[in-house]
Amino acid sequence: MGQQGQPMEHMTARAFEIAQFLERAGWDKAMRKPVTGDASARKYDRLSLADGTTAILMDSPPETGEDVRPFVAIADHLRVVGLAAPLILHQDADAGLLLIEDFGDALFADLIADDPAREIPLYQAAADVLIHLRTTPKPELPVCDATWLVEMVAPLFEWYAQDADATDQAAFTTQFRSFAERATAGDQVLILRDYHAQNLLLLPDRTGVEQVGLLDFQDALLGPTAYDLVSILQDARRDVSAKVEESIITYMLTQTKEDAARFRTTYAILGLQRNLRILGIFARLCLRDGKAHYVDMIPRVWGYVWRNLAHPELEELSALLTALLPEPTPTFLERMKRQCPHKPIP
């Protein structure tokens, strides 16, 4: 018999592979319950044994382009430098299967929704993790340089600003490259990239920076110190007010004594780059993958784009993008939704 009593002969090849993996790990008797995942092809289940012990099954099918090895390597590094990444309990990297430590359900996003007064303290705790990373050894990873920043904006024109012609795109690329070079000229740290309130969990039984449980860091790079702060304070999934954002930026600068003007300019450049890319990614998730609900987050991301463009150093980019980017009006967004495939593409 397979997982939850399903006969082996009636299981899909993947389900059979997972059942064998769990048997090897000693978790074949566990109950399984799906856990909300992300925009990737990865799937997550919480496993529960009769004695109450739990773990998380990460299912990352290799044929979808997923690879669990970076997650394992970064998790190991983060724990070595004193941060809370899940222990890897069992792994089959070739099959794309991991059994990892269960950090529970106390997501920062949910804690803040239940009690908005916790937003500042939790975001300060998240900033403390980033401050800690500045003082730790860096692993061997690709670098987020100016070329990478420019190339990663490509989905914007492919999926969101589809009417921008080649000349307009070239003009933006030329202008933005000089800003990208400024943003990547300073010190580099480990950047986790998907550093936001739905990937951070409160671990109250731990102390210091280890109270912040970290997830979804497999795409980590080396990059500018402001990158992950932008990620959490300009969150595409939830509103972060300009007041809260300013409070945490000020907290970060007070703790690090970094040059404030330079940091804020870098922050605005990275914020612009990140949110322009997200506009393209969310449009792609709808138009290509049939995930229409991402369209509903586009106005928030649009707001972050213009929050960054309000920085006086970005005035020339503001003028150019005003002409290039379609405003996400209700009519524009509804038209995008109508173009979504009816069934998501696996």
**CATH numbers and ranges of domains, the chain:** 3-100 (3.30.200.20), 108-338 (3.90.1200.10)
Specify the pLDDT at position 50. 93
DSSP 343: S
Residue 42: what pLDDT?
85
Nearest to 290 by CA among 238, 327, 345, 334: 345
For residue 306, which phi and psi values (nearest 5 degrees)?
-80, -25
Distance CA 263, CA 168 (A): 29
Q: What is the pLDDT of residue 300?
A: 97
- Nearest CA to 45 among 79, 72, 78, 18? 18
Measured from the Cβ of residue 176, the count of other Cβ atoms closer than 10 Å reads 23
Tokens of 293: 């609900």
Query: What local confidence, expressed as pLDDT, does residue 227 receive?
Result: 97
CB 276 within 8 A of CB 169: no
Q: How far is CA 258 from CA 32, 175, 226, in A?
A: 47, 26, 11
Distance from C-alpha of 147 to C-alpha of 193, rounded to nearest angstrom: 17
As a whole number of angstroms, the distance between CA 264 and CA 229 comes to 11
- Residue-level pLDDT at 39: 55
pTM over 0.85: yes
The pLDDT, as a whole number, for residue 138 is: 94
Structure tokens at 129: 């993790």
First-to-last alpha carbon distance for the chain, in angstroms, is 27
Tokens of 272: 């612009």
Strands 97-100 and 212-214: unpaired
CB within 8 Å of 52: residues ≥ 6 apart: none
Q: d(Cα 46, Cα 31) in Å, to the nearest integer?
A: 8
Contacts of 235 (CB under 8 A, 6+ apart): 196, 197
Token representation of residue 333: 């967004």
- pLDDT score at 345: 47
> Per-residue pLDDT for the chain (346 aa), expressed as one digit of tens each?
444 545 454 578 889 999 999 999 999 999 999 987 655 678 999 999 999 999 999 999 988 888 999 999 999 999 999 999 999 999 999 999 999 999 999 999 999 999 999 999 999 999 999 999 999 999 999 999 999 999 999 999 999 999 999 999 999 999 999 999 999 998 899 999 999 999 999 999 999 999 999 999 999 999 999 999 999 999 999 999 999 999 999 999 999 999 999 999 999 999 999 999 999 999 999 999 999 999 999 999 999 999 999 999 999 899 999 999 999 999 999 999 999 887 544 4
Conformation bin of residue 203: beta by default, left when phi > 0, alpha when psi is -120 to 50:
beta
